[in-house]
Structure 1
Amino acid sequence: MVATLAAVARELYGLRPQDFTAARNTKAQDLKPSEAGLSKQVAAMKKPSPAAWVVNLLARENTDDLTALLDLGEHMRTAQEQLDRDALRRLTGERRAAVTGLAQAGAARAAGLGNPPTAAVLGEVEQTLLAGTSDPAAAGAVASGLLVKALRAGGFDPVDLDGAVAVPDAASWASSPGSSRSAAPPDPVQLADVRRRKEARLEAEREERDADAAAAEVDALERRAHRLELRRASLEAEITELREQLDTAEAALAAVADDDNALADARTQASCAADDARTRARDARDAADAAEKSD
């Protein structure tokens, strides 16, 4: 059933947004006589958001480039875990370029199909691609081509994929109850020894639980410290890149200021030259008038 539903979803989510609803309803009606359950699932499929549709296009038509971006995300996670700041800085720049290139490619393809994305939609496309690099589950969702809505990464927390994919993973895990064993009652002669051993065992179990709880708290604190260190490394890489961008912008601003100063000097000189010219013209006119009067 899941495989069949996935096949129907791949067909529907490959259509243009304006064609989705009619095709979905038709498919559900066609399936209803023979597969009522599948028909109901198909009828419940949601139309993809504009950003999700563009990302689905990329998953189908720019598979190699998208795969390269998601692999880049895996490399970034490895660099973060290893606290490799140089690699993280390099990979951050590569990811930004790859996301921009893919988003532009998706926008061009969407426009060719009569659905040019707005700037807001394009921003959601980029956020979804970035989310795909943040954890493996999000990468699978982006690569599925079955996104219903845009994704957004939240730091080092897992990406929220609730309701994000048309056909979520249907695997389930069942736990089987453990078997219990009963022991024969102790001999009355040994009852006191059995009781003492039982109390000692219970005390040992309590101590073990306390030790396990303490170890779990230490592990939790260590994981938190590790996440903070990863966050610090990521932010330091971003700060370095932003500082380089700021240096570039400040250099450009200084060049503009120099040009502005040069222009101001040129305007002052030109204004002085114009004033001098007007003065000389006025003096010449006065001399000419005086000459005429003397004649």
Structure 2
Amino acid sequence: MDLDAVADELYALAPGDFSAARDKRVKAARAAGDRDLAEQIRRLRRPTLAAWASNLLVREQPDETERLLQLGEALRQAHQNLDGAQLRKLSAQQHQLTFTLARQAGQLTAQAGQRISDDVRQEVQDTLHAALADPEAAEHVAEGRLTKPLSAPAGFPTSFPQPPQAPAPRRATRPPDEVADLNAARTRRREQQERLERARQHVADAQRELHDREGELAAVEEEQRRAEEEQHRAEQRVAELSPELQDAERDQQRAQDAARKAHDRTRDADQAAREARSRAKDTAAYARKLAEQTQHQA
């Protein structure tokens, strides 16, 4: 037993099971005489829900985790080089990947019997952003032994500016009618932009709703799977016990028949005993009477 093996085992557990399993490992190390290892194990901290969900994601989705780490390297390089075009290209991938992985983490925790809230999912997504921004954070995430969620360092952008535009040439003074038309056009564009922002908000709300419903669906499907397994086991048990039940019913019927016959024999024997008792009593009285008559004649 070594610390890495124990840590991998413990951080694969749900937070509710962590402390008891850790204490058990501490006792085992002490019993083996390795007090240093026992102390190292004792210092392992129980993960928060967000940290556990991130660890579970790393363990269950290694390919996606590797994709995240590679994207982080590319983003950090583009940020260092001030490569705006590359930054804008990778920005969309960043948001899509972290959102998708955070949603997958919620599904995995639901399948493991522990649903997480939107706030916890956001902490998972923040942790993934931190892995994109900081190589040291990426290493911690890849280990799968987080005890708390991470945050991206200040100064690392989660969105990137558009390329600078050339200044517009100065225009001659416009007539009042043309100015009015321009103002109306600007108003329409502003209203369109407001409608677009509202539509984007509706999309975000719909995505959150979809996320919640998918999490509920995963939990219900897991509950259904367990119920069907339990039903299958019960049906197998019934099939296994059916022959025994039939034998038991036949034994019961035979025992009932035997008991009924024994009851009938007991009743007949009791009647015969009463009759014999009566005859014995009458015979004894008759014998006494004859004895008395014989004495008088003598």
Q: TM-score normalised to the size of structure 1?
A: 0.54
Letter in 2 for 1:135: D
Cα deviation digits, residues 22-45 of structure 1 (max 9, x gap) = 100001001112211111111121
The 1:249–1:115 alpha-carbon spacing in structure 2 relative to 1, beyond 3 Å, is: farther
| Aligned match of 1:143 | 142
The question of 1:250 aligning with 2:195 is answered yes
Q: Which has the higher helix share?
A: 2
Cα deviation digits, residues 130-155 of structure 1 (max 9, x gap) = 00011211110011001011000122
In structure 1, C-alpha distance between the alignment counterparts of 2:93 and 2:192, rounded to whole Å: 20
In structure 1, C-alpha distance between the alignment counterparts of 2:160 and 2:71, rounded to whole Å: 18
The 1:234–1:117 alpha-carbon spacing in structure 2 relative to 1, beyond 3 Å, is: closer
Count residues with an aligned counterpart: 173
The 1:32–1:238 alpha-carbon spacing in structure 2 relative to 1, beyond 3 Å, is: farther
Aligned match for 1:7, one of 5, 8, 13: 5
Structure of greater Rg: 2
CA RMSD of aligned residues (A): 2.8
| Aligned match of 2:35 | 36
| Aligned match of 2:64 | 65
Cα deviation digits, residues 178-235 of structure 1 (max 9, x gap) = xxxxxxxxxxxxxxxxxxxxxxxxxxxxxxxxxxxxxxxxxxxxxxxxxxxxx7x965
Given that 1:13 and 1:145 are in contact with CA atoms closer than 8 Å, whether structure 2 keeps it comes out as yes
Identity %, equivalent residues: 35
Deviation at 1:251, TM superposition (A): 3.8
Stretches of 4+ aligned residues off by more than 2 angstroms: 154-157, 246-254
Deviation at 1:16, TM superposition (A): 1.4
Q: Secondary structure of 1:154's partner? A: coil
In structure 2, C-alpha distance between the alignment counterparts of 1:99 and 1:84, rounded to whole Å: 22
Deviation at 1:54, TM superposition (A): 0.4
Letter in 2 for 1:152: S
In structure 2, C-alpha distance between the alignment counterparts of 1:121 and 1:132, rounded to whole Å: 17
Deviation at 1:47, TM superposition (A): 0.5
Given that 1:128 and 1:151 are in contact with CA atoms closer than 8 Å, whether structure 2 keeps it comes out as yes
Letter in 2 for 1:103: A
Given that 1:49 and 1:148 are in contact with CA atoms closer than 8 Å, whether structure 2 keeps it comes out as yes
Q: Which runs of 5+ in 2 are unaligned?
A: 165-190, 200-298
Q: Which runs of 5+ in 1 are unaligned?
A: 158-230, 240-245, 255-295
Deviation at 1:4, TM superposition (A): 2.0
In structure 2, C-alpha distance between the alignment counterparts of 1:134 and 1:29, rounded to whole Å: 40
